[in-house]
């Protein structure tokens, strides 16, 4: 991600679309590192256990760009991708386009059992910077774009259309990005675009 942003910055990119649709997540600290590439300051995520907030991850002044950003999300966006999209949204760093995310924001510890099997125990949950419980709510987009069954099937049948004008969610994200770029260039510095 760092190399991609730096490469695009060297080419004078005007703005960015980050596609997290169908991204089931990954490592927590990878999502924090990526958030820090976009967010200069502010909270990224809080981890809350039964006793309350046990850890809070912050941006560290290492953002690679402040140019407009739009993030695509859907029901397949889960876990670490929800942490990232929630941090970008709550810090007014990006406009989210698509549909509600999956809603997986639990910290689990796997304990080995004597027979070789394991038991996953939930020990904490993740909250967005504004305190939203990712696990219960997921992340709602700023601009909702539902795909019909026909549109979904068309994208499945023609994977090369994803991220093109034939992809309705991407097309709407590009509109939002163009509006955010215009605001950015006019000095309003508004990163997010209302629906």
For the purposes of burial, counting CB atoms within 10 Å of the CB of 117, is it exposed (0-12), middle (13-18) or buried (19 or more)?
exposed
d(CA 15, CA 5): 10
Catalytic residue list contains 160: no
Catalytic residue list contains 104: yes
Catalytic residue list contains 79: yes
Ranges of beta strands (E only) in 3-157 are: 16-19, 43-49, 52-58, 69-73, 95-98, 106-112, 118-127, 143-144
- Residue 84 contacts residue 24 (beta carbons within 8 Å): no
Residues 79, 81, 85, 142: which is the catalytic one? 79
- Residue 101 contacts residue 78 (beta carbons within 8 Å): yes
d(CA 183, CA 175): 13
Residues 74, 90, 142, 167: which is the catalytic one? 90
What ranges in the chain are assigned the alpha helix state H?
A: 2-10, 28-38, 80-90, 134-137, 149-157, 168-185
Residues 19, 81, 104, 142: which is the catalytic one? 104
Q: Active-site residue numbers?
A: 79, 90, 104
């Amino acid at each position: 991600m760092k190399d991609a942003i730096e490469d695009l910055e060297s080419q004078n990119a005007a703005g960015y679309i980050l596609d997290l649709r169908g991204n089931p997540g990954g490592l927590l600290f990878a999502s924090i590192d990526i958030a820090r590439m976009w967010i200069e300051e502010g909270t990224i995520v809080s981890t809350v256990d039964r006793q309350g907030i046990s850890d809070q991850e912050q941006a560290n002044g290492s953002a690679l760009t402040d140019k407009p950003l739009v993030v695509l999300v859907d029901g397949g966006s889960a876990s670490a991708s929800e942490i990232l999209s929630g941090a970008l949204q709550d810090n007014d760093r990006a406009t989210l386009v698509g549909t509600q995310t999956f809603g997986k924001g639990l910290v689990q510890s796997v304990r080995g059992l004597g027979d070789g099997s394991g038991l996953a125990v939930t020990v904490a949950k993740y909250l967005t910077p504004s305190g939203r419980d990712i696990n219960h709510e997921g992340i709602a987009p700023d601009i909702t774009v539902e795909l019909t069954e026909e549109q979904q099937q068309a994208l499945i049948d023609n994977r090369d259309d994803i991220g093109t004008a034939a992809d309705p969610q991407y097309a709407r994200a590009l509109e939002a990005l163009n509006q955010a770029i215009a605001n950015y260039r006019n000095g309003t510095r508004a990163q997010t675009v209302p629906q």
